Structure 1
Amino acid sequence: MVIRTDGAGVDFSDIRTEFGLPADFARPVLVEAEQAVSGGAAGDREDATALPMVTIDPPGSKDLDQAVAIEQTSTGFVVHYAIADLGAFVLPGGALDDEVRKRGQTLYLPDGNVPLHPTVLSEGAASLLPDQVRPAVLWTIDCDSAGEPTSARVRRALIRSVAQLDYESVQASVDAGNPHPAIAALPAFGRLRREHAVQRGAVELQLPEQEVEPDGDGWKLVVRARTEVDAWNAEISLLTGMTAARMMLDAGVGVLRTLPDPDNGAVEWLRRSAKSLGIDWPRETKGAQLLAGLDPSRPESLALFMDATRLLRGAGYTVFDGGAPELTTHAGVAASYAHVTAPLRRLVDRFGTEICLAASAGTEIPDWVRQALPALPGLMEGSDTLANKVERACLDQVEAWVLTDRVGQEFDAMVLRAENGNADVFLTDPPVIAKCAGENFTEGERVRVRLTQADSVRRKVAFDKV
């Protein structure tokens, strides 16, 4: 835990100021959002409130984008996936629409979020909160017994979530053999989808995931273990995103999340890295299969995961209207993919959803959607860059706070990446990832390091190899 003693308190206001993060919404934006709430969700909607659905999110979440129910049938599975319907509340060309285009996405800081939409929407009328009738975009995806989709439709509906669950409690209920009935089929379906992902060549890197948590009057760093439920739930979102991409490509208009395939040189470089780490990589084994089979608790596995991040650089947003673009796939997903499942927190999803609704219904795509498409890649890439910088700054700040009084102390660490006489090392206690100076580093080795700097003003920590 870290507690500041200079009277300034422990918060992230300096980071908010540095990056110019807005403290609130302008009055016209708030008024428009409140009017949208009072006006209700217009238009014809299917009544799907009898369908028992649940949400799965981190504890305490209020901006709930997705609710799910999975049926196992005699021929396979039926996935019902309800997504918050921001199109029901955001007036195209209005003050709210203008503001969310500027923001791009919700920014998450340990002491509070900078939301994409006013909380009257994101944590209220548009959020799929339990025991509330909510407007939603309802996907129904029929899959065969192998978990492969055979048909899909999407339409506007009214839904009611019957429970707000979190990952750990769902994992515990699965382990105990008594999951919620709405997701009793999730383990079977999730495992099938994970198998398909590996077979396709989808890349999943099981790197340590640092998180900042409140701890009394201060903050602490933790590493949250990824559960099977995390992976299965992600597969539902990925399935929906891949289905959305297929709809867009068939319609000849859309916005895809894309990533070029790594070139052969990059893959061969990773093979050499695996060999140096003592990891056997048979020529007939795909990289995705190798990575999926590694034990993430082993240092050589973490080092290879870190090296494999180089294969996943260059992601972007590809807009097309009038035919398929040259690049249609995302190398990390190993399929065509589009963002449509998090519209409360991400701008592009609202536009992608409207395209899929029109494509599924066989109607014209709204003009305001088509007109917005060219600007979306720039808006999203700018907000992605800002979100990454803010997240890294918050982690750097807490790392410096946690280590302020420990300069000169030695720690056990693991070498994640070694390059040019320096290394990225991972300390397990406290869970810190930082630069370390020294010579003769070997990726995957365990080393002893000494803390040489913990500057909470510059948010910088540094180590030397002992």
Structure 2
Amino acid sequence: MPRRHVKLHARPPQEVQGEAVDVLVRRGLDDLRRELDVPPSFPPDVLAEAADVVRRGPSGSRVDATDVPFVTIDPEGSKDLDQAVHIGRLGDGFRVQYAIADVAAWVQAGGAIDDEARRRVETLYAPDGRTPLHPPSLSEGAASLLPDQVAPALLWTIDLDAAGAPVQVGVHRASVRSRSQLTYTGAQAAIDDGSAGETLQLLREVGLLRQAAERARGGITLPTPEQVVEQGADGVWTLGSRATLPVEEWNAQISLLTGMCAARLMLDGKVGILRTLPDADPRDVQRLRLSAHALGVPWPDGATPGDVIRDLDAANPRHAALLTDATSLLRGAAYVAFDGELPAFTMHAAIAAPYAHTTAPLRRLVDRFVGETCLALSAGTPVPDWVRDALPELPGLMSAGDKHAAELERGCLDLVEAALLTGREGQVFEGAIVDVRADRDEGVVQLRDPAVRGRIEGAGLPLGEDVRVRVVEASVPQRTVRFALADDQADSASA
């Protein structure tokens, strides 16, 4: 279902202890990067190697697929374009052609770029810029699937039947040329007003079929808007809540489809690396059912958690509280490598199928190795030794990299939240209680504006209810905010 998109309006700059919020945020972001050891730049030998491979061009032979009218669909301003898509009809089914940036054509195993990528693991994002996995001359230049640029790619060809199920899969090296770089908002507008070309029209059709298949498998998607930090042209920092557009979800289904096909290839070949997620603990499911009952959210007989979660609207305070609770169902994600013997557990519970990361090699280390594995298995050739040799260490590298990225993302949000509320201690805001920890007399409140989520203290917090809260503390150095119920609400809670 469509999700609400909340956008904060810019405010006049706030002066805090003689310093503008902008200064506080920028200093805080620099401190956070130093604290988390985020590399400020690439070493000279990495930049030199990147310049050299760009001059020489990509390695390997490939078929010419520049006649296929691919398009990319990404957030506005993106330059590190991993994927380009083309969809056509094939009888009563469809042919999905999905071009993935061929990073291995530029990155030599054991070279300086490869070594640095294994240290970085993934691209890191902060409000004032990104820390890329690969040098920008590659990730935002020669290796990117930019429009009208001939670039090397791993070309996945996935034939689907009328129901959107894959019936034939292949991957090979190709040269591709994207015709257009579309944004999510532009693509959605074209679909909505009927001006979209065939690929976008069929993206909607295939995306809906794949979403129906996900529901039938019992997959779980949390419809939770993400917090977004932005800085306007006037230098004012804002914190908003961004919900995905339908076209983003349909586009994501193509990526999920490819990841599921990659997993199947590797399982059949008994070599590769999967992204796994265990089934939810039955106690967590039962607790979620009780929470739904307490919040007045319907849970029909026979409905799975995915059935209930899929229809929740995060703009509804009771639904937002249940969504917060539902994150407990998605714990324990891991990477599992194997070579010769299949792992004991191969499923990704949220997708309800085996799955592998393979569609973002410019931004995530493991995808390059999955792509090369699938390329060899599809061709019936041996998986390269440099790939097999890396498999045992990849789960540990990816786990550490994911943790590092999550710490940076959370730290950035905490910092901006604290900066926006610094100097506003004692002020009252409207929000909703989205989590309660009764044993500690505390919980989590989500403000309406600004879109801050923080710890609230007090007994008898009303889960899933609209409340008025008072800012108790906002510390930029500690990156913390604390709230309490406003006096009139506190009296009601204790009555």
TM beyond 0.5: yes
Find the counterpart in structure 2 of residue 335 from structure 1: 353
Q: Is the 8 A contact 1:3 1:219 kept in 2?
A: no
Find the counterpart in structure 2 of residue 253 from structure 1: 271
Find the counterpart in structure 2 of residue 463 from structure 1: 483
Question: How far is the alpha carbon of 1:157 from its aligned partner?
Answer: 0.4
Find the counterpart in structure 2 of residue 40 from structure 1: 57
Find the counterpart in structure 1 of residue 451 from structure 2: 431
| 1:49 alignment partner, one of 66, 79, 93 | 66
Counterpart of 1:255 in 2: which secondary structure? strand
Q: Aligned runs of 1:27-426 on 2, under 5 Å?
A: 27-215=44-232, 216-420=234-438, 421-426=441-446
**Deviations 1:160-194 (CA, angstroms, capped at 9, x unpaired):** 01111111111111111121333221111111111
Does residue 1:450 correspond to 2:470, yes or no? Answer: yes
Counterpart of 2:159 in 1: which secondary structure? strand
Deviates more, 1:80-89 or 1:182-191: 182-191
- Structure 1 CA distance for aligned equivalents of residues 83 and 376 of structure 2: 20
Structure 2 counterpart of 1:258, one-letter code: T
Q: Is the 8 A contact 1:244 1:337 kept in 2?
A: yes
Residue segments in structure 1 that go unaligned for 5+ positions in a row: none
- Structure 1 CA distance for aligned equivalents of residues 185 and 321 of structure 2: 27
Q: Is the 8 A contact 2:224 2:243 kept in 1?
A: no
Q: Is the 8 A contact 2:239 2:451 kept in 1?
A: yes
Runs of 4+ in 1 over 4 A off after TM superposition: 1-5
- Structure 1 CA distance for aligned equivalents of residues 134 and 254 of structure 2: 25
Structure 1 counterpart of 2:414, one-letter code: D
Question: How far is the alpha carbon of 1:3 from its aligned partner?
Answer: 5.8
Q: Is the 8 A contact 1:29 1:96 kept in 2?
A: yes
Counterpart of 1:153 in 2: which secondary structure? strand
Counterpart of 1:343 in 2: which secondary structure? coil
Q: Is the 8 A contact 2:321 2:463 kept in 1?
A: yes
Question: How far is the alpha carbon of 1:208 from its aligned partner?
Answer: 2.7
Question: How far is the alpha carbon of 1:69 from its aligned partner?
Answer: 1.1
Q: Is the 8 A contact 1:54 1:163 kept in 2?
A: yes
- Counterparts in 2 of 1:3 and 1:386: CA distance versus 1, 3 Å: farther
- Structure 2 CA distance for aligned equivalents of residues 203 and 463 of structure 1: 32
Q: Is the 8 A contact 2:187 2:200 kept in 1?
A: no
- Structure 1 CA distance for aligned equivalents of residues 245 and 225 of structure 2: 13
Given the two structures, how large is their TM-score scaled by the length of structure 1? 0.98
Find the counterpart in structure 2 of residue 6 from structure 1: 19
**Deviations 1:210-244 (CA, angstroms, capped at 9, x unpaired):** 10111222311111121101111111100000000
**Deviations 1:242-277 (CA, angstroms, capped at 9, x unpaired):** 000000000000100001111222211111111111
**Deviations 1:77-105 (CA, angstroms, capped at 9, x unpaired):** 11111111101011001111111001100
Q: Is the 8 A contact 1:199 1:289 kept in 2?
A: no
Question: How far is the alpha carbon of 1:363 from its aligned partner?
Answer: 0.2
- Structure 2 CA distance for aligned equivalents of residues 370 and 283 of structure 1: 47
**Deviations 1:89-147 (CA, angstroms, capped at 9, x unpaired):** 11001111111001100000111111100001010000111111010111110001111
- Structure 1 CA distance for aligned equivalents of residues 481 and 225 of structure 2: 18
Matched positions, count: 466
Structure 1 counterpart of 2:157, one-letter code: T
Measured on the aligned residues, the alpha-carbon RMSD in Å equals 1.3
Structure 1 counterpart of 2:202, one-letter code: A
